Amino acid sequence: MFHLALLYLLAASSSCVHAQQYISAPSYPSPWASGGPGWDEAYAKAKDFVSQLTLVEKVNLTTGTGNQADLCTGNTGSVPRLGFRHLCLQDGPNGVRYTDLNSVFPAGISAAATWSRSLLRRRGLALGEEFRGKGIDVMLGPVVGPLGRDPAGGRNWEGFSPDPYLSGVAVAETVKGTQEAGVVACVKHYILNEQEHFRSGISSNLDDRTMHELYLWPFADAVRAGVGSVMCSYNRINNTFACENTQALNYLLKNELSFQGFVMSDWGAQHSGAISALSGLDMAMPGDGPRNSYGSYWGGALTEMVLNGTIPQWRIDDMALRIMAAFYKVGRDMKRVDINYSSWVNATSGPRYFASKTGNTTVNQHVNVQGEHSSLIREIGAKSIVLLKNVGHSLPLRKPSSIAVIGEDAQDNPRGPNACVDRICNTGTLAMGWGSATAEYPYLIAPATALESQAKGDGTVFSNFKSNWDLPGARAAVGNASVAIVFVNADAGEGYKDLDGNLGDRKNLTLWNGGDSLVEAVASVNPNTIVVIHSVGPVLIDHIKTHPNVTAMLWAGLPGQESGNAITDVLYGRVNPQGKTPFTWGKHAGDWGVATLNATGIAPQQVFSEGSFIDYRHFDLAGIEPSFEFGFGLSYTNFTYSNLTITPTNGTAYQPDTGKSAPAPTFGVVDRNASSALAPKSFPKVPRFIYPWINDVNALNSSGSGTVPAGSQDGSPQNLLPAGGAPGGNPGLYDIVYSIRVLITNTGALPGTEIAQLYVSLGGPDDPKVVLRGFDDVELSPGQSKEVVFAVTRRDISSWDPVTQNWIASPYPKGVYIGTSSRQIMLHDNLSRDILT
């Protein structure tokens, strides 16, 4: 009998759910890295390196030196004896945070709206190049947690889409691009940090099937893509904190998904010393923690715990090995440059060690890492725009006689684009949300600026009315314009700070700054009103969609620094819109079927009772008509679909992984003489730095280590899991079982790109109506046809079976739906059942 990955206990007699009913079952020991596809060379190099380290040197790699202690967002200790500089970790994920001469990229949600693997890959590569140029080892991104269960979730925009397949493709391409540039990617936040309210205490409670089919899915893709690090999140999962959740870290991530890199804590998400180490945490960030004599759960405390036997040598070796394997995997040993900026100081000179204000030196060399990325940012910005409505060929614009640009969201922030720290304001045009995912703009092209310059070239009369609140003024400004373009927005961010009562999560799904009234005012007098929305996710806009004077609507997401140029490219047809919405637009706040939990108590219980029915899966199940469905987006041209063929491919039968791991390896020898773990005499310690040395050879239990969970120290061979076997899970899951072909033709008059989408119905009574399982961007000139081939994998047609702890292709009849959105299906057929499952 297999051990259930996540215990899901629901009281049979009552719908009332108590905290103790959701329990995360323990899983020990923490699996040790073993190399494997894509990791063998890095593993060998890491093994050589770690074998030379002393205990304190190993510990130094695992523990941050403290908040703001050194130059980067996160800083580990170093190994000076071997000339190894400390590791530098930096936010992420939309640009290099806290520096200058960097780019600001379209946010994750906009990148996802391109549905373009190649653009996602190029974005990942460009991000990686910028991080590399600043001397950073680890980019703290991309994000697939939150996935986007709650449309109001404050950080959804940092990630890609509430659809796990689209998120999975996007995260994999981003990871590959970033790591190709020689920077370790860190996929975050693992896992179920789906809202900002109570993020540090909330328990996200869910069942094993939902975990696998929804939330874990994109993390599996990240692991399969070779991601070097994973950040565990603030929240609890079934009542155990994510950074000491053995089900999440040991069982799912390191065993089932065979993750070979390292797990770091989110900042302050570590809550224990020995327990987190035995639960699979490999790096503590930013390092400082409790008020013990080390100021840390780890550092010297971890050294003590190894010396007193609480933490076996194999576990500390595994931590160090995983960290170094990630380092070598992306070629950091060949590509490292000096850290040439400080996160905490803008001036050229200042304290190297900011927390203690010591070590004055040149901290900012102002290295320009922007390369040619502005053109890619503009391209992604334009290609992520979703054309939601276009009546009577209102768009593209062709030298209109006059345009009136209306609204704050079209303007510069009068105090500059970086005036608000971490973008915690919504002044001027919105091109990113707020929080740790922000970066400083090198510049921000406001829509009004770009449209004015276009108008000048065209001989169009241009006017610009900036206020959202002076409605008579807005009406007067658009009365005679041949086109009125109204810009509106909705913001969200990270919950360490609220903005206008929005504690990260949005308090409602309406437009900000009176956007609804502004649109109404403009559309009441101008029969050719175009509405552009910059937003972090869906907003309630059905009244705009149905307004007869609104001739066009566009969702321009969070486009980054080239915002104005990108929207102008689309409005004027230089780029034919191809974006598709990566989430569903409901008509009412209740349409999504979930709400932000507002509760009190130490561990508020957020029960994911909807299972995997979030976003379009919920709308389909509940029969709710959205304003715009998942995958929707118009073009200036037309496409037809024909010639659907489905070919089962001769795969091999699915083999569950069996057998046992090798025993836990150790690397080098731990000197058990505790005096070797004391700081060298007269070492010039940096004040407030966290070091790996112990305080006292006679007090090796000072950190409170002691009894540990059964099995947690066991380094003997362990059972492998049936769904495991290689990074990302059982390799058989990725066998192609069907090849599906369809012909797409551009029947319109303009060149354009269609995003062809493949949905599958898995057919069971508990399955969603359809799930996305393929997409491709097909560029076509007028009259041209191209064949699209969708490679459907075994995973794509399988469901998670909690009993066997494996994926199975159920016996239910399965259908294939090819379309231009989740609801506009052009072709349909059934899948034959003769494949080997």
Indicate the residue among 158 and 591 with the shorter CB distance to ligand NOJ.
Answer: 158
For the CA atoms of the chain, what is the radius of gyration?
27
Query: What gap in Å lies between CA 283 and CA 692, rounded to an integer?
Result: 13
Catalytic-role residue among 91, 150, 266, 505: 266
Give the nearest distance from C-beta 87 to ligand NOJ in angstroms.
Answer: 14
Nearest approach in angstroms of CB 450 to ligand NOJ is 31
Least distance in Å: CB of 201 to ligand NOJ?
A: 14
State both tokens at 710.
């059964």
Minimum distance between the CB of residue 140 and ligand NOJ, rounded to whole angstroms?
4
Cis upstream peptide for 151 (omega within 30°): no
Tokens linked to 317: 């070796």
Active site (annotated) includes residue 266: yes
Q: How far is the CB of 91 from ligand NOJ (least distance, A)?
A: 5
Question: Which lies closer to ligand NOJ via its Cβ, residue 184 or residue 311?
Answer: 184
Residue ranges in 330-458 assigned as alpha helix (H): 332-335, 373-383, 447-458
Residue nearer to ligand NOJ on the CB measure, 355 or 670: 355
Provide the CA 253 distance to its chain's centre, in angstroms: 17
- Tally of CB atoms within 10 A around 564: 27
Minimum CB distance to ligand NOJ smaller for 75 or for 581: 75
629 close to 582: Cβ distance less than 8 angstroms: no
CB atoms within 10 A of CB 763: 16
**226 and 329 in contact (C-beta within 8 Å)?**
yes
Torsion angle defined by CA atoms of residues 815, 820, 822 and 823, in that order, rounded to the nearest 10 degrees: -90
Smallest distance from ligand NOJ to CB 76, Å: 14
d(CA 622, CA 768): 11
Q: What token pair was written down for 285?
A: 């960030």
**Strand ranges across the sheet with 736-746:** 639-648, 736-746, 785-793
Cα 465 to Cα 262: distance, rounded to the nearest angstrom: 52
- Taking CA atoms, 686 is separated from 78, 298, 453, in Å, by 13, 18, 53
CA distance 823 to 631: 8
58 Cβ contact list (under 8 Å, min separation 6): 50, 316, 317, 319, 320
Cβ proximity to ligand NOJ, 135 vs 774, nearer residue = 135
Residues that bind ligand NOJ (CB under 6 A): 73, 91, 140, 188-189, 266-267, 436
Do residues 327 and 87 make contact, with C-beta atoms less than 8 angstroms apart?
Answer: yes
Q: At its nearest, how many Å lie between ligand NOJ and the CB of residue 268? A: 8
> CA dist 97 to 70, 73, 493, Å?
15, 9, 15
Backbone torsions φ then ψ of 620, nearest 5 degrees? -65, -45
The tokens describing 110, both together, are 């906009």
Show the beta-strand stretches assigned E in 334-413.
Answer: 349-353, 358-362, 386-390, 402-406
Q: Kindly tell me which of 73 and 581 has the beta carbon lying closer to ligand NOJ.
A: 73
User: Which is closer to ligand NOJ, CB of 140 or CB of 185?
Assistant: 140
Residue 68 or 489 having the CB closest to ligand NOJ: 68
Q: Cβ 95 to ligand NOJ, closest distance in Å?
A: 13
- Vertex 302: Cα angle to 299 and 303 (nearest 5): 90
238, 244, 247, 252 alpha-carbon torsion, rounded to 10°? 120
Which one, 153 or 729, has the nearer CB to ligand NOJ?
Answer: 153
CB 607, min distance to ligand NOJ, A: 23
Q: Which residues are tagged catalytic?
A: 266
